[in-house]
Amino acid sequence: MKDRVALVASGALLLYVIAMTALVPLGPGLIALEPVEATPLQRFEVVGLGTHFAGQTTQTRVFVGQPGAVWEWRVLEARDNSRLLVEAVWPEKLKSKSLDVFVYHPTDGTLLLENALHVDHLPVDAATAFPPLSQPIPSGDGLGLHFPFQPQIFESIRNLLWHVPMWFTMFLLAGIGFVASIRQLGSNRLLPADGQAEAASRVALFFGLLGLITGSIWARFTWGTWWVDDPQLNGALVTVLVYGGYSVLRASLEDAMLRARLASAYNLFAFVILVILLLILPRFSESLHPGKGGNPGFNAYDLDSTLRLVFYPAVVGWGLLGWVLYRLGLRMDLVTRWMESLDPPLDPGPSTTPNSPLP
């Protein structure tokens, strides 16, 4: 009964996730701040993607600077929906040579482009005090549901609902395998825990592979290559290989008790490797991959309310699917072993019934 409930729940959640992945549009964002050729330090064009600058130009406002030291520029006109012509206003001194751009538009809300402009023509004094704005930068938008715009990532942010939950599920199942292996290792008899460790590690391997594949696809769209030499990616590959080794080890042993003992020892080893390479080491190293080293990373996405609306159900949905597959594998193994142990043994080979799910 519980297995069926889990299956239905997982199916419903994942259907929702698929629907949202396909249908929710990406929100607007800024791509560049381009100087107008004829007047390089006076006039600029703010370039957006998916923006609606053409309407409500009078209520559009543009701010430039660093957080805490921001001043306003004059909006001249909107060339089209994506291009906004602005006139620069310069203070006497700057806090830093690198400036961010904030655009407020009634429909698009507040858009930010970090490190949009690098200026050399003014002196820089880090201790410069800037007067606070007369009113804070307005917020709030007139858009419906949309995914957040992130530079370099753009539309591929949808992968967040697949790649990340798949890895979470892998961790979950590796954890189940770990606990089962501890139980098995602490005993002199063959426990059901051994079968649990086997089924859990198998599904963990499967989700690890899915995580690597979705990650590789994501890398292709954001970084341009299918793989980079990165501590997080290398750690993920090694972890998946180690869990692959677990299956190989089990396959090479005949005696059930020896297999249980060696495999459970190896599983403990594998899990510790997973924790070190994927949960501990990345926090200490520079990485392209979000969430560690210098990147604003995962937390930046998580703040967005629309994403949260789909991400949490996705984690639960994929996790439940992992659990369902684990339970399925476990039950299949038990039944297969029983069939083989009968006298005469029932061969669970290629089945004779037309629709049997057993291979």
Partner 1 sequence: MKLLSILFLQATPMEAVFFGSGKAWVVLAVGATILLGLVGWIWRAQIRLKELEQRMKSMDAEQTKP
Partner 2 sequence: MNGRRRHGVAVLLLHTFRTELRKAHGWMGLGLFALSSVYAAYRSVGPRAEAGTWNALVWLVLMFSAFNALARPLADDVREVRQYHMHLLRPQDWIVARTLYHGILLTALACCVWVAFAVFMGTTHFEGTRFFWMLLGMVVTAWSLAGAITLLSALAARAGAGFGLTAVLGIPLVVPILLLSARFGQAVISGLGAAEKWESLLFLGTFGGGAAAMGFVLFPYLWRE
Cβ neighbours of residue 224 closer than 8 Å, sequence gap 6 or more: none
**Contact present, 324 and 10 (Cβ < 8 Å):** yes
Task: Give which of 225, 309, 240, 250 is closest to 277, Cα–Cα.
Answer: 240
Q: Which residues of 81-96 are buried (b: 16+ CB within 10 A; e: fewer)?
A: bbbbbbebeeeeebbb
Shortest Cβ 194–partner 2 spacing (Å):
13
**Candidates 126-134, 193-201, 247-255, 325-333 — which segment interacts with partner 1 by CB under 8 A?**
325-333
Distance from C-alpha of 267 to C-alpha of 263, rounded to nearest angstrom: 6
Q: Among partner 1, partner 2, none, what binds residue 322 when CB lies within 5 to 8 Å by partner kind?
A: none
**What residues from 143 to 162 belong to the interface with partner 2 (CB under 8 A)?**
none
**Candidates 86-94, 201-209, 247-255, 327-335 — which segment interacts with partner 1 by CB under 8 A?**
327-335
Distance from C-alpha of 43 to C-alpha of 49, rounded to nearest angstrom: 20
Q: Among partner 1, partner 2, none, what binds residue 19 when CB lies within 5 to 8 Å by partner kind?
A: partner 1
Shortest Cβ 320–partner 1 spacing (Å):
11
Distance from C-alpha of 347 to C-alpha of 351, rounded to nearest angstrom: 9
Tell whether residue 7 is a contact of partner 1 (CB under 8 A).
yes
Distance from C-alpha of 195 to C-alpha of 206, rounded to nearest angstrom: 17
- First-last CA distance in the chain: 24
119, 143, 273, 288: which one contacts partner 1 (CB under 8 A)? 143
96, 216, 234, 306: which one contacts partner 2 (CB under 8 A)? 234
Distance from C-alpha of 344 to C-alpha of 34, rounded to nearest angstrom: 80
Q: Among partner 2, partner 1, none, what binds residue 188 when CB lies within 5 to 8 Å by partner kind?
A: partner 2
30, 33, 44, 50: which one contacts partner 1 (CB under 8 A)? 50
**Candidates 26-34, 68-76, 246-254, 326-334 — which segment interacts with partner 2 by CB under 8 A?**
246-254
Distance from C-alpha of 204 to C-alpha of 172, rounded to nearest angstrom: 8
Distance from C-alpha of 354 to C-alpha of 88, rounded to nearest angstrom: 75
Tell whether residue 265 is a contact of partner 2 (CB under 8 A).
yes
Tell whether residue 245 is a contact of partner 2 (CB under 8 A).
yes
Spacing of C-alpha 184 from chain mean position: 34
Q: Name the burial class of residue 2, with classes exposed (0-12), middle (13-18) and buried (19+) by CB atoms within 10 angstroms of its CB.
A: exposed
Of residues 283 and 331, the one with the C-beta less far from partner 2: 283
**If binding means CB under 8 A, how many residues of this protein chain bind partner 2?**
28
Shortest Cβ 242–partner 2 spacing (Å):
4
Tell whether residue 19 is a contact of partner 2 (CB under 8 A).
no
Q: How many CB atoms lie within 10 A of CB 249?
A: 16
Distance from C-alpha of 246 to C-alpha of 200, rounded to nearest angstrom: 11
Tell whether residue 27 is a contact of partner 1 (CB under 8 A).
yes
Tell whether residue 23 is a contact of partner 1 (CB under 8 A).
yes
**Residues near partner 2 (CB under 8 A):** 185, 188, 229, 234-235, 237-239, 241-242, 244-245, 248-249, 252-253, 258, 261-262, 264-266, 268-269, 272-273, 276-277
**Residues near partner 1 (CB under 8 A):** 3-4, 7-8, 10-11, 14-15, 18-19, 21-28, 49-50, 143-146, 155, 324-325, 328, 331-332, 334-335, 338-339, 342, 355-358
